């Protein structure tokens, strides 16, 4: 096969990944638990071109640095294998805290594997996607999944566990975009700075396994109130550790805070909704089925909210039949 196209949904961690135990293998310092989205997605096409002497990469219609993409391709193609043209598009803002590195690397790995390693299973694909971006391993799976940090030096026990398919609990996500531009400090740089300088970082790492247990149980019981509490706690705690870095990392703006307050007001009024925030100023409101219309209308009315996106839960990364 000379060309392949894959698509992958972004995912949102409810228990966050923030920091690494091995930067070279990109092994996380602690586990994470996420939901994969149906409607925020990447589509990536790879074409082998024997005439190229280096990989080419086009992202969102512009030529981009091919080196990170080449590094992932090198994990799948034989040494000295052919170079590729990679064309990718995200249907949501790139590098803005909406997990483009997750859907982007998941789609890349699925398309590249179709060309170079068609027999590879989703566990091995997830491990390669993780090398590109930690959160990407979770976009190989649909619905609810957990990335286990593992302890092995070679990363062999760092694996993703599928917990439930998307249809198991059809939560909906409303994304309030408060600034569509790329963030000033990437997730990778932000977590590395937090690890190196935040006095709260050890406390963060020590507390994640208890959050994971709580979140797993809440998903197993479809206990929305419990999932809301542990997810908001994990998100705020991640940002607390980042705020305490030097220099401090402040990913939020005024509209971010207004959205967080609004989500809590809605919950106090009995609406089934909770928030989470990644490394960026956008707020993701996770809603019980049937609640998203009201949540979307409420967040859209907040000053500084540029746009509201909506998504259900979706499947893992997959090939697009050509
Ligand atoms: P985000 O919050 O969007 O995940 P990150 O800082 O984690 O932001 O990562 C952004 C980087 O991810 C981009 O600069 C780019 O290198 C990479 N990326 C984004 N989209 C894609 C894609 N579709 N294919 C490959 N890499 C991508
Ligand atoms: C805040 O997976 O983007 O979104 O592994 O360095 O590429 P790298 O980082 P990335 O970090 C995601 C951080 C987060 C939380 C999460 O998705 O778990
Ligand atoms: Co990312």
**Phi then psi dihedrals of residue 265, to 5 deg:** -60, -45
The string of pLDDT tens digits covering residues 181-200 is 999 999 999 999 999 999 99
Q: Is 281 exposed, middle or buried (0-12, 13-18, 19+ CB in 10 A)?
A: buried
Asked if residue 162 has its Cβ within 6 Å of ligand 1, the reply is: no
Tokens matching residue 15: 């228990």
Question: What ipTM was predicted for this assembly?
Answer: 0.99
What domains lie within the chain, and their CATH numbers?
3-166 (3.30.230.10), 172-312 (3.30.70.890)
Among residues of the chain, what percentage have pLDDT more than 70?
100
Q: Is the CB of 187 under 6 A from ligand 1?
A: yes
Distance between CA atoms of 17 and 93, rounded to whole angstroms?
21
Query: What is the value of pTM for the model shown?
Result: 0.98
Rounded CA-CA distance 220/244 in Å is: 34
In which element (H, E) is residue 192 found? helix 187-197
Strand (E) or helix (H) holding 6: strand 3-15
For residue 8, report the distance from its CA to the centre of ligand 3, in Å: 14
Q: Of 39, 48, 35, which is closest to residue 111 (Cα–Cα)?
A: 48
Which has the closest alpha carbon to 203: 30, 34, 23, 33? 30
- What is residue 302's predicted lDDT score, i.e. its pLDDT? 98
Under a CB-based contact definition with an 8 Å cutoff, are residues 150 and 287 in contact? no
Q: Measure 101 CA to ligand 3 centroid, in angstroms.
A: 4
Average pLDDT on 151-159 reads 98
Mean pLDDT value across residues 147-167: 98
In ligand 2, the atom with minimum distance to the C-alpha of 188 is 6
Residue 322 has pLDDT above 80, yes or no: no
CB 48 within 8 A of CB 2: yes
Nearest residue by C-alpha to atom 21 in ligand 1: 104
Ligand 2, pocket residues at CB < 6 Å: 13, 16-18, 26, 32, 99, 101, 133-135, 187-188, 278-279
* Partner residues linked to 35 by β-bridges: 12, 144
> How much of the chain, in percent, has pLDDT values that exceed 90?
99
Residue 320 backbone phi and psi in degrees, to 5: -100, 125
> Could you report the per-residue pLDDT of 24-67, keeping only the tens digit for each?
999 999 999 999 999 999 999 999 999 999 999 999 999 999 99
Q: What is the C-alpha R_g of the chain?
A: 19
Mean pLDDT value across residues 106-112 = 98
């Amino acid at each position: 096969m000379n060309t392949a196209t894959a698509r992958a949904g972004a995912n949102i961690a409810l228990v966050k990944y923030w920091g690494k135990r091995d930067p070279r293998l990109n092994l996380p310092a602690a586990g994470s638990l996420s939901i994969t989205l149906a409607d925020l997605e990447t589509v990536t096409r790879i074409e082998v071109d024997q005439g190229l002497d280096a990989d080419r990469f086009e992202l969102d219609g512009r030529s981009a640095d091919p080196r990170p993409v080449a590094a992932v391709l090198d994990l799948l193609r034989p040494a000295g294998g052919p170079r590729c043209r990679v064309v990718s598009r995200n249907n949501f803002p790139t590098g803005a805290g909406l997990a483009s590195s997750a859907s982007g690397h998941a789609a890349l790995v699925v398309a590249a594997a179709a060309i170079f390693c068609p027999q590879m299973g989703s566990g091995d694909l997830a491990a390669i996607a993780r090398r590109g971006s930690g959160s990407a391993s979770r976009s190989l799976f649909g619905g609810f999944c957990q990335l286990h940090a593992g302890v092995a030096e070679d990363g062999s026990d760092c694996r993703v566990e599928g917990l439930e398919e998307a249809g198991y609990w059809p939560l909906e996500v409303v994304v309030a975009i408060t600034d569509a531009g790329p963030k000033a400090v990437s997730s990778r740089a932000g977590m590395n700075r937090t690890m190196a300088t935040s006095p709260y970082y050890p406390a963060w790492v020590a507390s994640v396994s208890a959050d994971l247990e709580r979140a797993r149980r809440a998903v197993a019981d479809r206990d929305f109130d419990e999932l809301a509490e542990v997810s908001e706690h994990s998100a705020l705690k991640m940002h607390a550790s980042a705020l305490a870095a030097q220099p401090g990392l402040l990913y939020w703006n005024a509209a971010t805070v207004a959205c967080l307050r609004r989500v809590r007001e809605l919950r106090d009024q009995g609406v089934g909704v909770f928030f989470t925030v990644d490394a960026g100023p956008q707020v993701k409101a996770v809603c019980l089925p049937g609640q998203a219309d009201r949540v979307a209308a409420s967040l859209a009315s907040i000053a500084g909210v540029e746009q509201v996106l909506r998504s259900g839960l979706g499947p893992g990364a997959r090939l697009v039949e050509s």
